[in-house]
Structure 1
Amino acid sequence: MRHSALFTRRRLLRVAAGVAAALAFDALPVMADERIKPSGNSTGARNMLTRDIPSSAEPLPMIGVGTYRGFDVAPGDPAYQALPEVLSELFKAGGTVVDSSPMYGRAEQTTGELLSIHRPRSPAFLATKVWTRGAQAGIAQMEASFRLLQTDRIDLMQIHNLLDWKAHLPTLRQWKEQGRIRYIGITHYTPSAYDEVEAVIKAEPLDFLQINYALDDRAVESRLLPLCRDRGVAVICN
């Protein structure tokens, strides 16, 4: 590996606070699978493995970038000046997923600013979250996300940590039917909540689950990953 490529990878991970999302759409590890394909994003993009989103069969690159901390910076901050390169390197490598949340401070606004000036037009798959109580408060928060991200369509809207999910889910379904949202999902990170996560997945048709999964955090392997595979739910691994 060339030194410059290694430096770019380290810089991307450092600036983006190490919250890149690995996409495991069939919800179980594989050695080789015909559903894993080279990414066909923009001309000249390096190949990246993809998985099909079960609910649509749309291929999505397996590596994305999270915006927690790393994108919670203002234009005057030196760290802000490095972020255009972070996104450019992601897109050049064939990645598209950019994941944010209203709870990440300024991250949504920063993401919207950077994507609005990206040339050529960015191929970003925009994912964000609703994280508040009450249906009307959720609508207001999600409308703010549209404004901050400078978009009229969000690819994935997730109910963050299942907060008041029953109040928000009808809005998400309605907006998906209207085309404002392409996919809907839920997120969590605490094993103590996994029983509720399991119950929601069993009760409601969802496109995505975003959940912790790492060598030192494998609690989802026994029940949640097999359940998502069986229910056709894509999994974003933190």
Structure 2
Amino acid sequence: MNGRSPDRRRFLRVAATAALAGATNPLVAQIAPSQSTPMHKRPIPSSNEALPVIGCGTWRTFDVGDDAARRRELAEVLRVLFAAGGSVIDSSPMYGSSEAVAGDLLAELHARDKAFIATKVWTDGREAGIAQMEQSMRLFKTPRIDLMQIHNLLDWRTQLATLRDWKAAGRVRYIGVTHYTSSAFGQVEAVLRSERVDFVQINYAANDRDAEERLLPLAAERGVAVLVNQPFGGGSLLASLRAKPLPAFAANLGCTSWAQLLLKFVLGNPAVTCVIPGTGRREYMIDNVRAGIGDYPDAALRKRIADAVA
């Protein structure tokens, strides 16, 4: 994320004062009016398993290598996610040390059972794909990955055949495909129409709405769960809103920051299963998970949100 709106700064100052020692601390009361208000979940269509609607992306933010101070901060990010009822952690071999860092932190926190681990295969060739996925399992310290995705559709036919074999063998629970740019949506659409996958991961935001035209309706039609990356327009959107006051109607959704409003815009589309904003800051994760509770905008209100950020 880049920049903070005045509303977000005010919220973060308040949120940062609370102790976050673990999942039984007052954090949940911070996030929701009461502990009886958990994060919303939505079903994965292929299994009906319920998935929490706010997750955590690791691109750039978890690529910290052996930096002990940054790792401690990232451990707090995961504590917040789990305390709020979230579970999805999305990574890739493309993200430098992110898989290794996330795997180490999950082990240190004894939190593997709380995490829904999503990572990717990003290489050409069957044997190279197998080797890369086995390395991901070693880095995450787990014999089974919850979701294995073909990153940016690289050599997708070859990798998809392997993923189907691995799913049948129980080495992965779900399989999917990803992309991060609207220019690839035609190819993503073709794969969704011709192949059976459990998940698709795509970019979608209030200022990046191409997915609404064909991909999101198609995913709903085909029974494919949707992970959304770049819900803040790749970070530039939040920066552009820094000096702009939050619309009065945001209060109707329980939003106290632009980040929450932008996440609720994405989740207002019923085809979306989970949104995975990337963050390496505890206070940003506190802000993000608040979008996982309360009401979501209907089509008319989503248009008002899009107009407000235009």
> What interval of TM-score do these two structures reach, taking the shorter chain for normalisation?
0.7 to 0.9
Q: Are 2:212 and 1:221 equivalent residues in the alignment? A: yes
The residue number in structure 1 matching 2:280 is none
Q: Are 2:43 and 1:56 equivalent residues in the alignment? A: no
TM-score by length of 1: 0.81
Give the letter aligned to residue 197 of structure 2: L
Q: Are 2:137 and 1:146 equivalent residues in the alignment? A: yes
CA root-mean-square deviation: 2.0
- Of 95, 116, 138, 1:104 maps to 95
Report Cα offsets for 1:27-77 as digits up to 9, x if no partner: xxxxxxxxxxxxxxxxx7961011000000000000000111111112334
Q: Are 2:182 and 1:191 equivalent residues in the alignment? A: yes
What CA distance in whole angstroms lies between the structure 2 residues aligned with 1:120 and 1:132? 29
Contact kept, 8 Å, 1:63 with 1:95, in 2: the verdict is: yes
Contact kept, 8 Å, 1:68 with 1:104, in 2: the verdict is: yes
Q: Percent identity?
A: 57
- Of 114, 124, 140, 1:133 maps to 124
- Of 216, 224, 228, 1:237 maps to 228
- Of 165, 168, 171, 1:177 maps to 168
Give 1:217 deviation, angstroms.
Answer: 0.6
Gaps of 5+ in 2: 1-9, 19-34, 230-310
What CA distance in whole angstroms lies between the structure 2 residues aligned with 1:45 and 1:135? 47
The residue number in structure 1 matching 2:241 is none
TM-score by length of 2: 0.63
Give the letter aligned to residue 128 of structure 1: T
Give the letter aligned to residue 165 of structure 2: Q
Gaps of 5+ in 1: 10-43
> Residues 86, 117 of structure 1: CA spacing in aligned structure 2 closer, same or farther, 3 A cutoff?
same
What CA distance in whole angstroms lies between the structure 1 residues aligned with 2:158 and 2:110? 38
- Bigger Cα displacement from structure 2, 45-54 vs 157-166: 45-54
Report Cα offsets for 1:102-133 as digits up to 9, x if no partner: 00000000011011121465410000000011
Give the letter aligned to residue 225 of structure 2: A
Task: Considering Cα pairs closer than 8 Å and 6+ residues apart, tell me whether 1 or 2 has the greater RCO.
Answer: 2
Greater strand fraction, Structure 1 or Structure 2 = 1
The residue number in structure 2 matching 1:68 is 59
- Bigger Cα displacement from structure 2, 204-213 vs 73-82: 73-82
**Which secondary structure does the structure 2 equivalent of 1:210 belong to?**
strand
The residue number in structure 2 matching 1:27 is none
Give the letter aligned to residue 16 of structure 2: F
Q: Are 2:75 and 1:84 equivalent residues in the alignment? A: yes
Contact kept, 8 Å, 1:97 with 1:127, in 2: the verdict is: yes
What CA distance in whole angstroms lies between the structure 1 residues aligned with 2:120 and 2:17? 28
